[in-house]
């Protein structure tokens, strides 16, 4: 039997309920900026870490124990289910993820599997169960997956891209093949998230990181319908859902129609503007600029104050960054940020942060 959560602030905010303060967690909150993570990472490759439940659980727990965040998020990578579809995946410390043989044609798409998630990615479910055992009801655990368009960009481009020219070329020259690819990814993601839900996650976030490269017209055709299908398929489980788009300004109203409980936005617009554009029935997450954690404690406090002021009195708000935390972030500044949200703007500055 799953123990009752001692801190359900995050889940209540996701559901649009009024909370005594905003919950706070940080995208990529377990990562390279933590020396303790680096020690775990020395034991294996990045993919090895993702695929070893005990190590993934250790990494997941670091920000829970060190920062005191209000939610844990599974340590994994959005490309894990793509590898299971039959694509060779490589990770480089300098280049990041890459696919040596990217999708280039309809024949390549037809070769892809819609994998059975437990058989191909069961280590993720094992990690979730181990994390919940370690959490013992302290906090909710967030699962996640990449959105179909974002996953398709990696599969077609072969690596992180600046202009997304290959996937857009397919979009403009062979849209039928791209839609077929997106359809296959969507089925994979639905099954993958179903497995996570059955293993015990309390909420899930869909990362459509590269959808901001699309115009609203093309977003409505090549990204939004597939996210909506995922959300509709998982609705029956009754757990909160979050949609994150980097570059969300032009897409905000369309994001709302995806049907998630929460829209998570980047730092490129004020939350005062966001709350005017998002219905009260949809919660908001975001949106501190990650680079602000590299500045001074005084300016970080002011940036935090501004965001909290913008969202004052609005039920259904989750404090987060507008993108993942940067590897060069001092841990002391991450701790200070969490304290500012949880304890108030007069929270003491950690001694190490004072020297930043």
Residues with catalytic function: 28, 32, 41, 77, 154
32 annotated ligand binder:
yes
DSSP codes, 156-199: HHSB--SS-HHHHHHHHH-HHHHHHHHHHHHHHHHHHHHHHHHH
218 annotated ligand binder:
no
When computed from its CA atoms, the radius of gyration of the chain, rounded to whole angstroms, is 19
31 annotated ligand binder:
yes
Collapsed DSSP state (helix, strand, coil) of residue 317: strand
How would you list the strands of the sheet with 203-208, edge to edge? 72-73, 141-146, 203-208, 241-245, 262-264, 283-288, 317-321
Show the CA angle centred on residue 180, arms to residues 177 and 186, nearest 5°.
140
Instruction: Tell me the C-alpha distance between 308 and 289, whole Å.
Output: 14
52 annotated ligand binder:
no
Instruction: Tell me the C-alpha distance between 332 and 348, whole Å.
Output: 12
154 annotated ligand binder:
yes
Burial letters for 143-171: b for 16+ Cβ neighbours within 10 Å, e otherwise?
Answer: bbbbbbbbbbbbbbbbeebeebebbbebb
| Contacts (Cβ under 8 Å, ≥6 apart) of 270 | 310
323 annotated ligand binder:
yes
304 annotated ligand binder:
no
- Positions at the binding site for substrate: 28-32, 77, 154, 209, 323
- Positions at the binding site: 28-32, 77, 154, 209, 323
């Amino acid at each position: 039997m799953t123990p009752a959560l001692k801190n359900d602030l995050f889940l209540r905010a996701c559901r649009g309920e009024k909370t005594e303060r905003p919950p706070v967690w940080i995208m990529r909150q377990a990562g390279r900026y933590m020396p303790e993570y680096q020690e775990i990472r020395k034991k294996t490759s990045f993919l090895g870490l993702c695929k070893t439940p005990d190590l993934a659980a250790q990494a997941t727990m670091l920000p829970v124990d060190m920062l005191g965040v209000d939610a844990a998020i599974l340590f994994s990578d959005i490309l894990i289910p793509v590898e299971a579809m039959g694509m060779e995946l490589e990770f480089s410390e300098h280049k990041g993820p890459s696919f040596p043989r990217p999708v280039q044609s309809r024949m390549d798409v037809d070769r892809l599997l819609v994998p059975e998630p437990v058989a191909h990615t069961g280590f993720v479910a094992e990690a979730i169960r181990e994390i919940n055992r370690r959490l013992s009801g302290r906090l909710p655990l967030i699962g996640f997956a990449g959105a179909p368009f974002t996953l398709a960009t990696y599969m077609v481009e072969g690596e992180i891209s600046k202009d997304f020219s290959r996937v857009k070329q397919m979009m403009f020259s062979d849209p039928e093949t791209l839609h077929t690819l997106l359809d296959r990814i969507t089925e994979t993601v639905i099954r993958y998230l179903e497995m996570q839900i059955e293993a015990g996650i309390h909420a899930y976030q869909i990362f459509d990181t590269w959808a901001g490269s699309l115009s609203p017209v093309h977003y409505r055709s090549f990204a939004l319908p597939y996210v909506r299908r995922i959300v509709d398929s998982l609705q029956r489980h009754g757990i909160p859902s979050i949609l994150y788009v980097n570059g969300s300004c032009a897409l905000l109203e369309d994001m709302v129609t995806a049907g998630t409980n929460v829209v998570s936005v980047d730092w490129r617009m004020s939350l005062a503007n966001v709350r005017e554009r998002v219905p009260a029935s949809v919660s908001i997450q975001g949106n501190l600029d990650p680079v602000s954690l590299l500045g001074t404690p005084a300016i970080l406090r002011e940036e935090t104050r501004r965001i909290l002021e913008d969202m004052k009195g609005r039920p259904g708000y989750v404090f987060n960054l507008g993108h993942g935390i940067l590897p060069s972030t001092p841990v002391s500044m991450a701790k200070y940020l969490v304290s500012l949200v949880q304890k108030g703007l007069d929270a003491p500055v950690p001694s190490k942060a004072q020297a930043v």
